[in-house]
Structures are given as structure tokens and as C-alpha cells.
Structure 1
């Protein structure tokens, strides 16, 4: 019982909130449970040798009100007292952070757990519906984030609490289904023979899919970056880019539907991340929703599940702030992820 209460004990205000990605780190300060978070300028990870130095310069030196606790979402596995980030040279060392920054308490969670926390209470103005399916149920949810990679997390609703469930859903197999799929898939770059979700449904995956479509059509692919594929696909100036967005939407719909069934996510499926916002017009076309619902013998069930694109510019920070204000609403496992001074 005592061990349980230690991990359930709320963080002390003011609380430093951070979303640490491979390129950018975003911070805010939550003064108390009722205040709006105070935001700070985005920090470029390459500009600082360590996360401690970035927090000192980006937050501590810019406010007289010093945080007592910190909760940080990081892109990387959390094992032990040294946490390397996936796409950046920083190593998060919570014990050193407590000493260097004068903190009492540090919690480190997965970046997609923060996205899951965010969708527990996402206001309507920050979620764009895909299809006309009203959100009427307080029930389990799923969030997918095509970006640098493909993040996936569940948000299970049980015993009046939200329980985030991180995982590696972005690495499940994708396979061909339609006649066009069978023409395109042989040209998609694999990982040791596998076509995982992340081989198609992320930035580099979009380029991979574009190149495969060009190969299937017998034409030379242009040296596009993801931004070019999305831009020329949306404005219609490149036929292969147009089809790339169509198939991207289809495959994302299939995978989103699979995740909805795994979690029985009757509370909705949310698409987070920059790519989802960027290609929103394509996702609003019939392909995404048709693929999402096409799950015989459960098509009827799938038609009742709402789908959204998250448009909140700082969704992960909002999710962390929600947790910091009302931790008892969430079943967030903190064993091995909370350090006390």
C-alpha cells in the first residue's frame, strides 16, 4: 500500500512540462491546478549539449518562479536512470536533473502516452472530424501519429479512469489487398522483407510509397521530400503524388480501423502529428473513412466509431498539463519512471 501511494502522490506545483522530440523541445510551466500553462519559446535540441542546459536557458533563466517538479514526454524507450532519445544526442538523466535544476520530483513518460492523455479531454475546436460520426460515448480511444515515424497509443477507459497504453503499433505488418496494391507493394522498400506500417505511414514512408507508385507506372520518380509529395498531391500537379495521398489515406484508414478493433475504441480514433494536419483535405476524401469502416464482419460497428484529426498546436503539452492538474483521473504507471529528490 505504501509503495502504491508513493507513486500515486501528486506532483508539487509549480510543474515544468516538457515535450522532447528529436528536433524540437517544447516547455511550459503550470503554476497551479487552475492556471493556464505559461509557454516558452521552442528550443532546438541541436543548440544545447544536454537537456539540463536547454531547460536552464529555455525556462529557468526566463522566469522568477522556479518549478519544483517536472513531467517530461520523450521520444525513446524509458529503461533505467539514463534515457537516450531516439532522434537526438541528448540523454535524459533524471537524478542529475534533480541535482542540477533543484527539482524535487521528475516523471518521464513516452511521447505517445502524452498524446493519449491529450485525447482524454480534447476540446471540439482542436479536433477536426473525418466523417459525420458524433462523439457520444465516454469509452476507450486510440491515437495514431504519422510523423517522423508512426506512433500509436491506446487510451483505455476503466473504473472511471483513463489508462494510457503505449506500444509499437506503428511496426505491425501492412499487406496488399486491392489489385492496385499488388502492383505497388513489390516496389516498396522493406525492412528484412517486412512492410511495416512505418514503411509507408510516416514522412519517409510517404516518399517510399510515391517512389513505388512511380516504379509501378514505369516512370522515373522525382527527388521529392515528404513536403513535396503532400504539396503536389494536394494541388493536383503531380498524378503520382495525388495517388500517393489517396493510397496513404487508404492504408492509414485500414491501420486505424485495426487499432480501433484491438482497443474497442468506441470513444474514437484520433490522428495526431504534423502530417495529419498537413494532408487534412486528403483525409477528408472518402478513402480514409471507407478503409476504416471496411472491416467485415464488423462494418456496422466501425460505422459508429468517430475519427478525428487533432489540430491542437501543442497537444502533448496539453495532455501533460491535464494529467498534472488531475492525476487521479488517470491510471498512469509510474514504476521506474518517477525519480524523487
Structure 2
């Protein structure tokens, strides 16, 4: 006789999966446990007033497949029947979706929880190793990614299951250490008196860091967008942009090392998102791993932990699809985050 707990874990196909970020949203439909997800074009959240409109126009109007269930990963903490995204005006209302789209089941997770699910399943083809270290099987992992904000999640292995640990780790403190840091940090905008990691380690944070360097050196800024700074820094056309990327990598390494210690992440630390992918040449330079490993008295421990960039173009959807196919493989807590018709 089937186990009741296994029955509770079942998610009925077809399943609509969605990765909802502050800037972009990605959707796919998983027809069954064996099919590859049917992906839809990436859309800008600013182009649609609501998530319901985006799903209807960009997904359901483009396919004859009627989903029975939906799993969404959203950029922000899940908070009851109406969850607001952190950097986007959309509000996720699962009960309304069940009524509007004739769904039986809606599950809402944190976006970096989905990235953590991906980190449990991705193969070497979609990972770019940075530095040394060796991954130990079935041990804790960490995923972090600078994007619209700074997402963080842990991944713990217990009782033959991978358990994602979502949180708001991107808002931990980030402070100066070197003389150069102390010259730059006074020019970084504070929020209620503090500088969080996300104020530097995200797209807008990169701009904040660049402008702070310009102020510290009494130079006029030439760029106002992260992609401009990245381009100028990568090709060496601008020394301030190049230093911005170098410090960005160093600070990202520091934060990644702190999180590796928190989770004892012997299974590795994974960098996700478009920014990490674009600046791989910078991350391969010494600054990132130096910041990561410089954790006395535990430098040797950090040297043994591998770091890598996730290069899969739709990692969060990959993670959601892995969970949707075999929910029992993951210890995903759905209490308060699952709604049924």
C-alpha cells in the first residue's frame, strides 16, 4: 500500500514552473517526469502589471497544455496568501491563481532555494571550477548569486534527502579590512547606518562600488550601469572599472568564505546568476579565492572547499524541475507554502 507521506509529496503533471526574479521571469511546463521542460521566452517583469497577466499572455496563450500544478521560485521570502517580491511590484496570490488558471496545486519557494535544488543535481558540464578544493559527497553546500539583489541559500544532506535552506543572507554586514577598503567604504551609501553585502554585491551594488571608488579618488564617473562597468573592466579600458571588478571579486570571495564556514560547506560553494557568469575571467584571478580562503584560523579548511560558477542558463528552472520530478529526493518544507484547490 502506498505510503501516505509519499502520496502527500506527489505533484501532478503537467506542472508549470517559474523562476520569478526582480528583473526577469522564466517559465516552463513539465509535461511528465521524463520529458524535458517546454521553455518559454524570458520576459521582463516590468512589461506586465501582474504575474497573472504574464503567465496568461506569455505562457498559457502560447500552448495547448493545461497545467494541473504550479511551482514558483520567487525573489523574496514567502509570506502567506499574498507574497510581495523584494525588487518587483508583482504580488504572488496562489489562491487567485488556482481559481484563474484552474490549478489543483500551487507551491511557492524562495528563488535561491531553487538554485540550491539545482546545486544538488547539476553535472560538471554546467559548472566552471574556480580555484582548488575537492567536493565531498553528501555534504553541505552553499549557493550565492549577485543579480538584482544578492541571493543566498544553503543545502544540507540528511536522511538521504537534500534539504534547501532559504534565507536572506545577502543582507549580512560587509565591512572594510584593507587600507583601500577604509578609503572607499565611507563613500558607500548606508541603510540605517550599515553596509550590507547586497549594497555592493549585486548589479546596482557594482555601480555603488564604482562610484565610491571615483569619489575616493576624486574622479568623475564615466559609467552608470553594471554592464558598462563590466565591459570596461574586462577589457582593461578603464582602470577604475577594472578595480571595481577586482574588489567586487574580493568582497564576493569574503562573503562566500563566511557562508562556507557557517554551513561547513565541504560539498562546495556555487556562484549563480548572470553577473558571475560574465566575470569568470575576474573570478579566476587570485582576489576571489584569496578573499575566500583568508579566514584564520581556518584557512586550511577553506582551501579544501571547492568553488564554482553555475553556467546552466536556466539553473533555477532546472532545480524546480528536479524537485517536481522526484519530490521525495528533497526535504522541501511546504507547510505554509503549498495551496490546494
Which TM-score tier does this pair reach, normalised by the shorter chain?
Answer: over 0.9
Alignment partners' CA distance in 2, 1:207 and 1:10 = 44
Query: 1:7 offset after TM fit, Å?
Result: 8.9
- Aligned partner of 2:122 in structure 1 is 122
- Aligned partner of 2:168 in structure 1 is 168
More moved, 321-330 vs 186-195: 186-195
In the alignment, is residue 267 of structure 1 matched against residue 267 of structure 2? yes
Match of 1:300, SS state, is helix
Q: 1:257–1:295: 8 Å Cα contact kept in structure 2?
A: yes
Q: 1:200–1:206: 8 Å Cα contact kept in structure 2?
A: yes
In the alignment, is residue 113 of structure 1 matched against residue 78 of structure 2? no
Query: 1:270 offset after TM fit, Å?
Result: 0.5
More moved, 327-336 vs 128-137: 128-137
Q: 1:7–1:334: 8 Å Cα contact kept in structure 2?
A: no
Match of 2:215, SS state, is helix
- Aligned partner of 1:50 in structure 2 is 50
Q: 1:292–1:302: 8 Å Cα contact kept in structure 2?
A: yes
Match of 1:143, SS state, is strand
Alignment partners' CA distance in 1, 2:114 and 2:210 = 31
Alignment partners' CA distance in 1, 2:226 and 2:147 = 10
- Aligned partner of 1:193 in structure 2 is 193
- Aligned partner of 2:134 in structure 1 is 134
Alignment partners' CA distance in 1, 2:315 and 2:219 = 40
Cα deviations by residue, 1:22-57 (Å, 9 ceiling, x for unpaired): 332211111111111111122333333332232222
Query: 1:6 offset after TM fit, Å?
Result: 8.8
- Aligned partner of 1:303 in structure 2 is 303
1:4-15 equivalence runs, <5 A: 5=5, 8-15=8-15
Structure 2 portions without partners, runs of 5+? none
Alignment partners' CA distance in 2, 1:299 and 1:30 = 44
1:1-341 equivalence runs, <5 A: 5=5, 8-341=8-341
Q: Kindly tell me: are residues 49 and 217 of structure 1, through their superposed partners in 2, closer, same or farther at Cα, counting changes over 3 Å?
A: closer
Query: 1:278 offset after TM fit, Å?
Result: 1.2
Match of 2:165, SS state, is strand
Q: 1:7–1:338: 8 Å Cα contact kept in structure 2?
A: no
Alignment partners' CA distance in 1, 2:6 and 2:91 = 26
Q: Kindly tell me: are residues 6 and 54 of structure 1, through their superposed partners in 2, closer, same or farther at Cα, counting changes over 3 Å?
A: farther
Match of 1:175, SS state, is coil
The alignment's C-alpha RMSD in Å is 1.6
Structure 1 portions without partners, runs of 5+? none
